[in-house]
Structure 1
């Protein structure tokens, strides 16, 4: 019974901590989710082509989309003024 209670408490605390994330963190999470979905679609398309060169190209694009999304999300989280124009310029 104690184990179930501890697990329930941990799950509850984890869900509460997710609710308190800032709008900036939520935006960064959305960026990552969206770019991950685009990259997954590109990889699915790569699996459906018969040309090896096209498959490699689509997989490279998927990798680039993932990297760009991760960089943009990290810039959003760290408030890097050079990348997200928080300085208004």
Structure 2
């Protein structure tokens, strides 16, 4: 009796959930509502892209803030250059490993022949 009741309760819940989602067209993709949908609707008719106003961003900064901003930009450029150098070094190391692996494979093949 308990098993029948549990099965009936599960079936009732499944049917209730199935009844909640209605669509006239079975080929429609299910799409959940999100906060992005109203934002996309609001921006649908915007044709211009935003541009940065250099004079409005740095001219109004206090000198100490401007100095900190310039230091941060310099550090960011240094970090980017460091990352670029590390990437180039990694690529060179990978090429060396590849060459060593190919040489070892060639030597192993010569020994077997």
Q: How high is the TM-score relative to the length of structure 2?
A: 0.26
More helix by share: 1
Computing the radius of gyration from Cα coordinates, the structure with the larger value is: 2
Larger RCO (CA under 8 A, 6+ residues apart)? 1
